[in-house]
Amino acid sequence: MSRRVDSAHPSTSTTTAVGSSAERSTWWNRLPIAAAIVLLILLPLLFVSRGEKSEWNDCFVTAARHLAAREPIHSQGETYAYPPSMAFLSVGIGNLPLSWSLWTWGLVNVAATVLTFVGSWRLIGGPSLGQLDRRWAAVLALSLLLAVRWIVSPLEHQQFDMVIAACIVWGCVGIVARREVAGGLLLGVAASMKCTPLLFAPYLAWRGRWRAAVMVGVGAIALNIAPDLLLPKHAGGSYLVDWHRVFIAGVSDSAPGTWHSDITLNQSLGGLFNRLVRVGVPLELTNVEAVPLSADAARGIKYLTHCTGLLLLAATVLVGGRPLRTPAADDQPGKRDWLWAVEFSAIVSLMLLLSPMSSKAHYVVLWLPSLVIARQVLERPTTARYAVVALLAVTGTLTTKGLLGKSLGDLTLLWGLPTWHAIITLVALWEIHHAAQYENRVAPLTSEPAPARIIAKSQQRDRPQKANRK
């Protein structure tokens, strides 16, 4: 008699499918622990090695010290172009001696990296890392192939993007666990730093999680007005108003993709269309901003950007369906939790595409979608899904400058390959969501990726005929 797999718990699997996998695959169990130890040692050393040249020191430490002195933190020529919340959160660490500050910020990023992975792993139904077998190790390895470029980038730039990713992921964990206030507040903290997680507010309202949607707004606003209340400027005025006046107000008058950085670095839809209109798909590096842009061309970029964004939003809503309800009924916990993970992944993909500015460091939030896609392609392999994985690898990790060199790596940014990576990810998630809705009506979503099922079937075929009759 075959052993049934409980679909309500994606991490549950049969032991007969792989024989003594616990004995044969014990080294997989040690792999996450070894990786965490290496991360704990090497990452702070990387932060400290850059000293005063680090972006942490140049941007956030400088802003934190101005804020602690109750001086303006936003002005033309300053490197700090973010909402007040990140300067406020940096005050404690930023006012330490530089070496201590760098060590502490490195450890914070280690913790955020671990939390981002653990939360994402939980959302996709991954088993305990102490029980990691070859099937789930394959999911982990494939997800890293798809996401490692985005994971490394925020750690290289020493900004808040990994912390933001951790807040988003654990906010999503809270939503699934029905801790709406805590989950919404964590998403609000993320939104207070980069604004784009505010997209979770209308999404959660659409799913009927009204308290969580409200708390997203509360968290975003509260953390940005806290500096005005606790560390008001000596000269009066609001830090939040200064940020809007200096860095936001003029953006609406310019073409999408134009931000306070090199336009080649902007991997949002606006940045992609801005470069395509200006220089097309060049075969050599070009200074995009040196190419003049007419008023008609600027209007065309706005039309392309906004219409494409609306189409992506509409398609996501159409695929999701069922407004004002959870993705699946409460009596189908395996299906419900899986669809939550797929929908959260779609939202973070849209965040990157619809943002006025998305750099490579922001793309670390694609760690969760990478895990979702990796699990699904091993769970339900098809030729189309293998093709998607290949496209994601080519537009992601395989285009890193460490493999291609600086010139060709910069050219891939000019072509907007990270943007195409996010678009392909979103389309893949639409297909996964649609397939999960159909497949779960026919058969429960098994927790065993394809290799384990193939082994189980072969073992069943090899059984003696007498045993089969029994």
If one compares 470 and 215, the residue with the highest pLDDT of the two is 215
pLDDT tens digits along 301-350: 999 999 999 999 999 999 998 888 888 877 788 889 999 999 999 999 99
Segment holding 145, helix H or strand E: helix 134-157
Give CA torsion, residues 265, 271, 277, 281, to 10 deg: 50
How far is 143 from 164, CA to CA, in rounded Å? 20
Q: Say yes or no to pLDDT of 5 above 60.
A: no
Region 281-286 average pLDDT: 90
323 DSSP assignment = T
Residue 212 · residue 184 · CB < 8 Å:
yes
- Give the per-residue pLDDT at 112: 94
Q: Say yes or no to pLDDT of 3 above 50.
A: no
- Give the per-residue pLDDT at 10: 41
Q: Say yes or no to pLDDT of 414 above 90.
A: yes
Q: Tell me the domain boundaries of the chain.
A: 21-450
Question: Comparing 23-32, 42-51, 70-79, 335-344, which segment has the lowest mean pLDDT?
Answer: 23-32
Q: Say yes or no to pLDDT of 207 above 90.
A: yes
**Residues 412, 418, 420, CA angle at the centre, nearest 5°?**
100
Q: Say yes or no to pLDDT of 463 above 70.
A: no
pLDDT tens digits along 233-255: 998 999 999 999 888 887 777 88
State how far the alpha carbon of 22 is from the alpha carbons of 27, 32, 425, 453, in Å.
10, 16, 33, 17
pLDDT tens digits along 75-130: 766 678 899 999 999 999 999 998 899 889 988 998 999 899 999 999 999 988 77
Work out the mean pLDDT of the chain and round it to a whole number: 84
What number of CA atoms fall less than 13 Å from residue 336's CA on the CB side?
14
Q: Say yes or no to pLDDT of 135 above 80.
A: yes
